């Protein structure tokens, strides 16, 4: 235990602090962080500041353009406040994004570390499965699945996860493969530590950098995919709002009430751009080769 | 090389089998079915629906239906569409042109534009141009394609009235110019994401090539910067792009699906959604298999081309 | 069979005389239809092109196979029926030389023997003469056990279809069945010779290159895009007046409307102009815009097997809490007409005296209080362990319905009723979930009639619930002895005025029972260029090309 700590842990700490400093100095990443944080804050605290709740229907106030009275983003075809719905939808869309991140990263890490550590046939089989999933037309599969399963947020998160874990698996596998014959792993083996201990306590933490990067990008991807599915009408169902399903049906009112399409679209773009910026910053921060830039 | 090819082919077949099995089960295990669409026709009865189901073989055990489908598939018979009774291959074939036209145009735009931006960014690394396009590319990657399409329709069709909001051509016109006018918006929207991806990869690839010995040698021999770029750098940086093109295929297909929906483009993406809506399983299965096949062939071809043009890459 | 025949009294002579609305019961023939028979030769040369757009794609071209509404849009152009309904609900002959009645000897007095005389000299599009054998073939095909037939109602009573001559055939009915005429009016006749030597009639080449006797001939189909039809110069009636008819598939209503506005589309077809565009459309230059009622009514359907809906007070309270006015005026832009019944208001059999719905939250609450439904801790009412909480389902992606649901959800909550929205994609929604009554409540648009015939047995007869092993589509599982009795009686009666009493009573009983909360009769916004002449609303047909033979450009 102590032996392993002396080999791996300090490196991690060192890596962490240096990476953190680089990350903080990364302009885009900071912009992204501000975007994501402010959007998150708005989604979770915004509803308390608004005059309307997201389910209140007022047919007399339908299709009010942004800035009508207290409706800062206008109202929808049922006269509900778009700002309130947008923030509420944000909670759901981001929750889906983070859930996918957690599930996909976990599956990917396990598959990656197992196949990286064992190598040989185990790796061959696992990585072929990864290839299979990668070459599968995921949007087609997503739609085919969503068309027939009662789509709620949990189901949508699971379906998106099923098509999002492969990249993490590849990254982790590569990293673990390069580490498995290193001294600290040998030492751990000699100490008689169990295989799972070595895999998940010794090897995996060393791949934490790339995993965090991939995880961040997964959130972005998941938010986008949810929007795609819900836009096509196969995703999260009303009255529960999501950014995607707020856009579903907006095309119908594009000429008369363009804000129905514009507002949620901007929110999605800001959120996804934010996560992508952060991911980019993290990649630079963890990558020693680009340290000089 | 041959052995590699054979093993890749074998893997691809297993994969196709897997795709077909999962797809078939997902479609058929779900509630509802292809006869639901007739339920609301005046005079439709449960008795009649049961009779039609039996005639179509929909009352057989699922495994039997799958094996039956597979057996026909193996012999080149992709089945018959529930909707119009045509063979699935004919149905897909009749939608292929529209999709290829859209994807082809979009890919041409994105490769040429993406490569140009990428090379320029790499050569002028660190310049304002480079930084601007880095940020723009990341934003482009973050915009939902369909939403970008909606905004484009709003601006260019509804407000400015410059371009049509949808469809592939005007009925009764159908001239080349007419096609082009209809093609501009969807192709640009579809190309947006790809331009971003291509420019990023091209930039990295060019940077790697620039720093290599033969480029320095060429420069040392006194060739102008321009000549070196055109002769040596561009060609060599494009090699990894071939693989990328293969890997991008599923994404382009997915993108085409959404773009076709927004612009009511009569291609395979629309066909897929329509067929899903009507539970036309044979066509949905056919499209699933076609896209899986396209992706596999795309990847394989990309690997082969790379191996052929770049002997440095060893196939394992 | 014979026993049954004797058990039921046949129609009297006077009743039978009135069969098929022959006499003046239903109104005067519309002028457009008069003088059609003398037609044949002297048609002016057809000219011009017309683009008719639909938001669904026609794909089934054998009209006897299962199909959807939009497919019929093509059938009316290519095929003919023996006779059809005009907008007033009267029959007019098409392939038949005259509409069979007892007076002209077409139908026996007991309604059990039919004799159809056909026009002479009618030809199929490929030049083959049309004969009685084709009619026999078409009628028999519907009952062919190997053929994927669209419907069997009515046909199954037909016996001994006999070709007397090329222009005459007869058959017997195993029982008198008044709706048969309505069913025949939507039975398109297809050519026997197209199936000669065809082993599997479900996959005949005919399906993708249909041959008819209709005003337009099949030219080509670009799948996913359009169908092109050309004038049939040898048509046996007046018309056609257009050289080319293009039926264009435009999958998005907005794009369809935009193209109509810009002039690319001449006539807006099925799914029509969405209600939110009505006001703008009416102001367009050079376009004719018409709001027309259809035979489909929208309702909030209840699954009568659920404990929540067994108490009539609950159904009445829910109906009182249904803010129909707001739904129709705001969400549907005032296009549809409020209704209290399933019967279209244009119909001869419509009951105009049903009690009018009044929206009143107070009345709804009072009804529930009175019946002993008291609010629980969460504000939701309950009684004897049954909570007034249920799901409501409809087609996912139908935006107006989804808006309606969310609106209803809010008003129901005000009276202490919790409604959860649970929508499904169409293939799931209208599969077993609907047919086998697995829902709590639904929002559904139904047309329960066969053309202009008022019979709705398949939908409201208590033996017709698939959930209880029945063969029909009584998915609300409505059980009413009174209605059963009325429906059985009405199907054996032939005098429109007397049938009217039966069906008006049925509507009154159902308005009282409320197995569904009637919302409105659908109306659609039709539009065409002002140089197009001919399109005319007809509530008795499912789609507006019913008279496409008369369409012309001026």
Cα–Cα distance measured from residue B48 to residue B153, given in angstroms and rounded to the nearest whole number: 45
Chains that touch C (3 or more CB pairs under 8 A): A, B
B15-19, B243-247, C268-272, C326-330, range with the lowest pLDDT:
B243-247
pLDDT at A9: 43
Nearest to C251 among B41, B85, B270 (CB): B270
Q: Tell me the domain boundaries of chain C.
A: 296-523
Q: Tell me the domain boundaries of chain B.
A: 2-74, 88-309
Mean pLDDT, to the nearest integer, of B250-262? 78
Beta bridge partners of C230: C217, C244
Mean pLDDT, to the nearest integer, of A47-68? 83
- Check C422 against A150: CB less than 8 A apart: yes
Higher pLDDT, C367 or C12: C367
Nearest to A144 among B150, B276, B292 (CB): B276
Mean pLDDT, to the nearest integer, of C439-443? 95
Mean pLDDT, to the nearest integer, of C450-467? 88
A46-60, B158-172, C433-447, range with the lowest pLDDT:
B158-172
Nearest to B165 among C51, C258, C464 (CB): C258
Higher pLDDT, B63 or C4: B63
Above 70 in pLDDT, residue C554?
yes
Strands C386-387 and C267-273 come out as unpaired
- Residue A24 neighbours by CB distance under 10 Å: 12
- Check B167 against C152: CB less than 8 A apart: no
- Check A276 against B141: CB less than 8 A apart: yes
pLDDT at A140: 67
- A40 close to C (CB below 8 A): no
pLDDT at C4: 37
Mean pLDDT, to the nearest integer, of B76-84? 86
pLDDT at B207: 81
The residues near C346 (Cβ < 8 Å, ≥ 6 apart) are C87, C89, C293, C539
Please say whether the beta carbons of C510 and C299 come within 8 A.
Answer: no
- Collect all residues of chain A within an 8 Å Cβ-Cβ radius of residue C396: 233-234, 237
Higher pLDDT, C158 or B258: C158
- Collect all residues of chain A within an 8 Å Cβ-Cβ radius of residue C397: 233, 248
- For CA atoms B28, B34, B36, B39, the dihedral sign is negative
Q: How far is CA C416 from CA B256, C365, C392, in A?
A: 47, 8, 16
- Check A137 against B292: CB less than 8 A apart: yes
Q: What is the DSSP string of C313-363?
A: HHHHHHHHT--HHHIIIIITTT-SEE-SSSS-TTSTT--TTSPPP---HHH
pLDDT at A137: 63
Nearest to C259 by CA among C48, C77, C54: C54
Q: What is the CA radius of gyration of chain B?
A: 24
CA distance C435 to chain B (A): 7
Using the structure block, give the residue that is written with the tokens 């080999």.
Answer: A7
CA distance A85 to chain C (A): 14
- Check C330 against A59: CB less than 8 A apart: yes
Q: What is the DSSP string of C360-402?
A: -HHHHHHHHHHTT-EE-TTS-EEETTEESEEEEE-BTT-HHHH
CATH number for the region C296-523 comes to 3.10.105.10
Cα–Cα distance measured from residue C196 to residue C128, given in angstroms and rounded to the nearest whole number: 13
Mapped onto helix, strand or coil, the DSSP state of residue C524 is strand
Tokens of B184: 């501009």
pLDDT at B247: 67
pLDDT at C31: 38
Interface test with A, best of B18, B33, B142 (most A CBs within 10 A): B142
What confidence category does residue B311 fall into, taking pLDDT thresholds of 50, 70 and 90?
Answer: low
CA distance C448 to chain B (A): 6
The string of pLDDT tens digits covering residues C60-119 is: 999 999 888 899 999 999 999 999 998 888 889 999 999 988 888 888 888 899 999 999
Complex prediction ipTM = 0.78
The percent of residues above 70 in pLDDT, for chain C, comes to 92
Write down the pTM of the prediction: 0.81
- Check B253 against A265: CB less than 8 A apart: no
- Check B11 against A128: CB less than 8 A apart: yes
Nearest to C297 by CA among C446, C430, C401: C446
Tokens of B58: 């929909």
Cα–Cα distance measured from residue C258 to residue B6, given in angstroms and rounded to the nearest whole number: 53
- A78 close to C (CB below 8 A): yes
Interface test with B, best of C150, C460, C473, C553 (most B CBs within 10 A): C473
CATH 1.10.3720.10 fits B88-309, yes or no: yes
The string of pLDDT tens digits covering residues C329-346 is: 989 999 999 999 999 998
Cα–Cα distance measured from residue C77 to residue A105, given in angstroms and rounded to the nearest whole number: 58
What confidence category does residue C8 fall into, taking pLDDT thresholds of 50, 70 and 90?
Answer: very low
- Collect all residues of chain A within an 8 Å Cβ-Cβ radius of residue C427: 147-148
pLDDT at C240: 92
- Collect all residues of chain C within an 8 Å Cβ-Cβ radius of residue B276: 425, 427
Mean pLDDT, to the nearest integer, of C163-192? 92
- Collect all residues of chain B within an 8 Å Cβ-Cβ radius of residue C248: 171
Nearest to B14 by CA among C315, C437, A125: A125
Q: What is the mean pLDDT of chain B?
A: 81
- Collect all residues of chain C within an 8 Å Cβ-Cβ radius of residue A59: 326, 330-331, 407
Chains that touch B (3 or more CB pairs under 8 A): A, C
Nearest to B19 among A131, A136, A255 (CB): A136
CA distance A282 to chain B (A): 14
Beta bridge partners of C229: C218, C245
Mean pLDDT, to the nearest integer, of C217-232? 90
The string of pLDDT tens digits covering residues B86-139 is: 889 988 888 888 888 998 898 888 888 988 898 888 888 888 888 888 888 888
pLDDT at A290: 46
pLDDT at C329: 92
Q: Which fold has domain A38-47+89-290?
A: MetI-like fold (1.10.3720)
- Check A132 against B18: CB less than 8 A apart: yes
E strand segments, C422-531: 441-446, 516-529
Above 80 in pLDDT, residue A19?
no
Using the structure block, give the residue that is written with the tokens 């910053």.
Answer: A281
The string of pLDDT tens digits covering residues A119-141 is: 888 888 888 788 777 766 666 66
- Check B32 against C424: CB less than 8 A apart: yes
Query: CB contacts < 8 Å between A and C, how many?
Result: 52
The residues near B171 (Cβ < 8 Å, ≥ 6 apart) are C51, C226, C246, C248, C264, C265
The whole-angstrom distance between residue B157's C-alpha and the CA centroid of its chain comes to 25
- A234 close to C (CB below 8 A): yes
Q: What is the DSSP string of C174-233?
A: SS--TTHHHHHTT-B---GGGGTT-S-GGG-GGGGS---SSSEEEEEEETTTEEEEEE-T
Q: What is the DSSP string of B23-66?
A: HHHHHHHSSS-TTGGGTTSTT--HHHHHHHHHHTTTTS-HHHHH
Nearest to A228 among B11, B23, B146 (CB): B146
Please say whether the beta carbons of C429 and B36 come within 8 A.
Answer: yes
Mapped onto helix, strand or coil, the DSSP state of residue C534 is coil
What confidence category does residue A15 fall into, taking pLDDT thresholds of 50, 70 and 90?
Answer: low
- Check A238 against C406: CB less than 8 A apart: yes
Please say whether the beta carbons of C248 and C236 come within 8 A.
Answer: no
- Residue C478 neighbours by CB distance under 10 Å: 23
pLDDT at A136: 65
Cα–Cα distance measured from residue A162 to residue A166, given in angstroms and rounded to the nearest whole number: 9
Please say whether the beta carbons of B187 and B107 come within 8 A.
Answer: no
Q: What is the mean pLDDT of chain C?
A: 87
CA distance B20 to chain A (A): 11
For A:104-133, CB contacts with C below 8 A are none
Query: How open is the CA angle B213-B216-B221, to the nearest 5 degrees?
Result: 125
- B62 close to A (CB below 8 A): no
The string of pLDDT tens digits covering residues C15-47 is: 443 444 433 333 333 334 444 444 444 456 888
Nearest to A87 by CA among A49, A123, A118, A128: A49
- Collect all residues of chain A within an 8 Å Cβ-Cβ radius of residue B292: 135-137
pLDDT at C212: 95
The string of pLDDT tens digits covering residues C499-543 is: 899 999 999 999 999 999 999 999 999 999 999 999 988 888 888
The string of pLDDT tens digits covering residues B172-214 is: 666 888 888 888 889 998 888 888 888 888 888 888 777 776 7
Using the structure block, give the residue that is written with the tokens 């095909």.
Answer: C141
Above 80 in pLDDT, residue B302?
no
- Check B277 against C427: CB less than 8 A apart: yes
- Check C435 against B274: CB less than 8 A apart: no
Above 50 in pLDDT, residue B44?
yes
The residues near C485 (Cβ < 8 Å, ≥ 6 apart) are none
Q: Tell me the domain boundaries of chain A.
A: 38-47+89-290
- Check B45 against C153: CB less than 8 A apart: yes
- Check B258 against A231: CB less than 8 A apart: yes
Tokens of C511: 């308005």
Closest-CA residue of chain B to A31: B135
């Amino acid at each position: 235990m102590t032996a392993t700590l002396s080999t791996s842990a300090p490196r991690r700490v060192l890596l962490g602090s240096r990476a953190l400093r680089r990350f903080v100095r990364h302009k885009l990443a900071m912009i992204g962080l501000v975007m994501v944080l402010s959007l998150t804050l708005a989604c979770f605290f915004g509803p308390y500041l608004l005059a309307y709740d997201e389910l209140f229907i007022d047919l007399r106030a339908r299709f009010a353009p942004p800035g009508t009275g207290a409706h800062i983003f206008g109202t929808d075809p049922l006269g509900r406040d778009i700002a309130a719905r947008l923030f509420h939808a944000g909670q759901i869309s981001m929750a889906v994004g983070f859930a996918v991140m957690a599930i996909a990263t976990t599956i990917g890490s396990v598959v990656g570390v197992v196949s990286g550590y064992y190598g040989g046939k185990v790796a061959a089989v696992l990585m072929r499965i990864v290839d299979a999933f990668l070459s599968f037309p995921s949007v087609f599969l997503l739609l085919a699945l969503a068309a027939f399963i009662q789509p709620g947020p949990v189901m949508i998160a699971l379906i998106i996860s099923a098509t999002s874990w492969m990249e993490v698996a590849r990254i982790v596998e590569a990293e673990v493969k390069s580490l498995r014959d290193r001294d600290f792993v040998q030492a751990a083996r000699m100490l008689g530590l169990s295989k799972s201990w070595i895999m998940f306590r010794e090897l995996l933490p060393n791949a934490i950098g790339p995993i965090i990067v991939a995880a961040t990008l997964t959130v972005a991807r998941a938010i986008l995919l949810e929007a795609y599915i819900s836009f096509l009408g196969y995703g999260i169902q009303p009255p529960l709002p999501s950014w995607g399903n707020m856009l579903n049906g907006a095309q119908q009112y594009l000429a008369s009430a363009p804000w129905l399409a514009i507002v949620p679209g901007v929110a999605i773009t800001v959120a996804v751009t934010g996560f992508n910026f952060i991911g980019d910053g993290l990649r630079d921060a963890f990558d020693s080769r680009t340290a000089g830039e | 090389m041959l052995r590699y090819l054979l093993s890749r082919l074998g893997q691809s077949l297993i994969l196709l089998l897997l795709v077909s099995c999962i797809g078939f089960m997902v479609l058929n295990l779900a509630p509802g079915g292809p006869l639901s669409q007739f339920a609301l026709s005046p005079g439709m009865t449960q008795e009649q629906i049961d009779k039609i189901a039996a005639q179509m073989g929909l009352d057989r055990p699922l495994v039997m239906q799958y094996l039956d489908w597979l057996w026909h598939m193996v012999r080149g018979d992709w089945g018959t569409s529930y909707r119009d009774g045509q063979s699935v291959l004919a149905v897909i074939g009749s939608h292929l042109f529209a999709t290829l036209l859209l994807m082809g145009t979009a890919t041409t735009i994105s490769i040429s534009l993406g490569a140009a931006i990428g090379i320029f960014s790499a050569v002028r690394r660190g310049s304002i141009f480079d930084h601007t396009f880095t940020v723009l590319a990341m934003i482009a990657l973050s915009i939902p394609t369909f939403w970008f399409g909606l905004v484009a329709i709003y601006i260019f069709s509804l407000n400015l009235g410059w371009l049509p909001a949808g469809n592939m051509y005007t009925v009764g016109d159908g001239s080349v110019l007419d096609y082009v006018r209809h093609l501009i918006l969807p192709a640009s929207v579809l190309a947006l994401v790809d331009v971003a991806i291509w420019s990023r990869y091209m930039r990295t690839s060019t940077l790697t090539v620039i720093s290599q010995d033969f480029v320095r040698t060429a420069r040392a021999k006194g060739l102008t910067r321009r000549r070196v770029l055109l002769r040596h750098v561009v060609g060599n940086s494009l090699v990894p792009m071939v693989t990328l093109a293969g890997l991008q295929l599923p994404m382009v297909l997915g993108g085409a699906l959404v773009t076709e929906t927004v612009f009511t483009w009569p291609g395979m993406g629309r066909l897929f959604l329509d067929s899903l809506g009507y539970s036309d399983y044979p066509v949905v299965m056919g499209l699933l298999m076609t896209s899986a096949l396209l992706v596999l062939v795309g990847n394989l071809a990309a690997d082969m081309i790379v191996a052929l043009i770049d002997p440095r890459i060893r196939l394992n | 069979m014979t026993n049954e025949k004797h058990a039921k009294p046949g129609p009297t002579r006077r009743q039978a005389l009135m069969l098929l609305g022959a006499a003046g019961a239903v109104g005067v023939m519309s002028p457009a239809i008069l003088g059609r028979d003398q037609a044949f030769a002297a048609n002016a040369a057809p000219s011009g092109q017309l683009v008719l757009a639909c938001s669904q794609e026609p794909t089934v071209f054998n009209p006897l196979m299962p199909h959807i509404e939009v497919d019929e849009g093509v059938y009316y152009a290519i095929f003919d029926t023996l006779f059809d309904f005009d907008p007033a609900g009267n029959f007019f002959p098409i392939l038949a030389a005259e509409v069979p009645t007892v007076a002209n000897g077409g139908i026996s007095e007991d309604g059990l023997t039919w004799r159809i005389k056909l026009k002479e000299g009618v030809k199929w599009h490929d030049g083959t003469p049309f004969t009685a054998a084709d009619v026999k073939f078409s009628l028999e095909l519907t009952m062919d056990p190997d053929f994927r037939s669209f419907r069997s109602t009515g046909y199954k009573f037909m016996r001994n279809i006999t070709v007397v001559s090329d222009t005459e055939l007869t058959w017997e009915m195993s029982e008198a069945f008044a709706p048969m005429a309505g069913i025949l009016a939507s039975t398109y006749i297809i050519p026997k010779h197209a199936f000669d030597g065809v082993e599997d009639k479900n996959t005949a080449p005919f399906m993708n290159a249909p041959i008819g006797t209709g005003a337009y001939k099949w030219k080509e189909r670009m799948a996913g895009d359009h169908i092109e039809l050309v004038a049939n110069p040898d048509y046996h009636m007046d018309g056609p007046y257009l050289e080319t008819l293009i039926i264009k598939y435009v999958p998005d209503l907005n794009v369809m409307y935009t193209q109509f506005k810009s002039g690319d589309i001449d006539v807006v077809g099925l799914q029509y102009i969405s209600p939110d565009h009505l006001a703008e459309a009416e102001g367009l230059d050079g376009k004719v815009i018409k709001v027309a009622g259809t035979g489909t009514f929208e309702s909030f359907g209840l699954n009568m097997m659920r404990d929540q809906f067994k108490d009539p007070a609950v159904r009445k309270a829910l109906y009182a809490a249904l803010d129909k006015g707001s739904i129709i005026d705001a969400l549907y832009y005032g296009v549809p007409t409020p209704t209290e019944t399933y019967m279209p208001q244009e119909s001869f059999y419509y009951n105009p005296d049903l009690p009018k719905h009044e929206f009143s939250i107070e009345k709804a609450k009072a009804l529930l209080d009175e019946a002993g439904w008291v609010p629980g801790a969460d504000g939701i009412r309950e009684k004897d362990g049954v909570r007034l909480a249920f799901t409501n389902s409809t087609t996912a992606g139908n935006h107006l319905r989804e808006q309606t649901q969310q609106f209803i959800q809010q008003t129901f909550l005000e009276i202490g009723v919790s409604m959860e929205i649970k929508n499904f994609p169409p293939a799931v929604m209208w599969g077993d979930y609907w047919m086998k009554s697995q829902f709590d409540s639904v929002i559904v648009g139904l047309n329960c009639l066969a053309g202009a015939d008022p019979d709705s047995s398949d939908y409201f007869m208590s033996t017709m619930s698939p959930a209880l092993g029945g063969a029909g589509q009584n998915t609300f599982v409505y059980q009413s002895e009174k209605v059963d009795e009325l429906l059985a009686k009405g199907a054996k009666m032939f005098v429109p005025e007397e049938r009217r009493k039966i069906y008006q009573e049925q509507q009154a009983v159902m308005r009282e029972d409320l197995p569904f909360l009637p919302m409105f009769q659908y109306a659609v916004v039709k539009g065409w260029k002002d140089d197009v002449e001919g399109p005319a609303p007809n509530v008795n047909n499912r789609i507006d090309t019913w008279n496409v033979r008369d369409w012309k450009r001026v």
